[in-house]
């Protein structure tokens, strides 16, 4: 299992990545410091499964998560100025 810490748009995020979890799928977990909302979760936690090789195709867990967050932020108009009630 890999663990990475990044700062994305001023939000601290811990990324856990396990390739071929259960032998059939890749697993990503995101946790934000202080349970801050990000485009893929309002609670600061997200568990996400993707096809084997998808994360590697993007260049690793950090690159995959960054691209995912950027895409979701753009498509939803998300701003980290939004209110969080958690």
Measured in degrees and rounded to the nearest 5, phi and psi for residue 71 equal -60, -50
**Residue 82: what pLDDT?**
53
Domain ranges of the chain: 2-76
Q: Is 68 exposed, middle or buried (0-12, 13-18, 19+ CB in 10 A)?
A: buried
Please state, in angstroms and rounded to a whole number, the distance separating the CA atoms of residues 27 and 13: 16
**Residue 84: what pLDDT?**
47
For 2-53, write each residue's pLDDT tens digit.
999 999 999 999 999 999 988 889 999 999 999 999 999 999 999 999 999 9
Kindly write down the DSSP assignment for every residue of 5-53, as one continuous string.
EEEETTEEEEEEEEEEETTTEEEEEEEEGGG--BTTBSSSEEEEEEETT
pTM: 0.87
């Amino acid at each position: 299992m890999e663990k990475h810490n990044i700062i994305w748009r001023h939000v601290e995020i811990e990324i856990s990545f396990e390739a071929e979890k259960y032998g059939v799928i890749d697993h990503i977990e995101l946790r934000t410091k202080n349970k801050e909302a990000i485009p893929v979760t309002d609670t600061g936690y997200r568990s996400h499964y993707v096809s084997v090789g998808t994360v590697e195709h993007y260049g690793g867990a950090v690159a995959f998560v960054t691209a995912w967050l950027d895409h979701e932020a753009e498509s939803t108009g998300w701003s980290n100025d939004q209110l969080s009630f958690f």
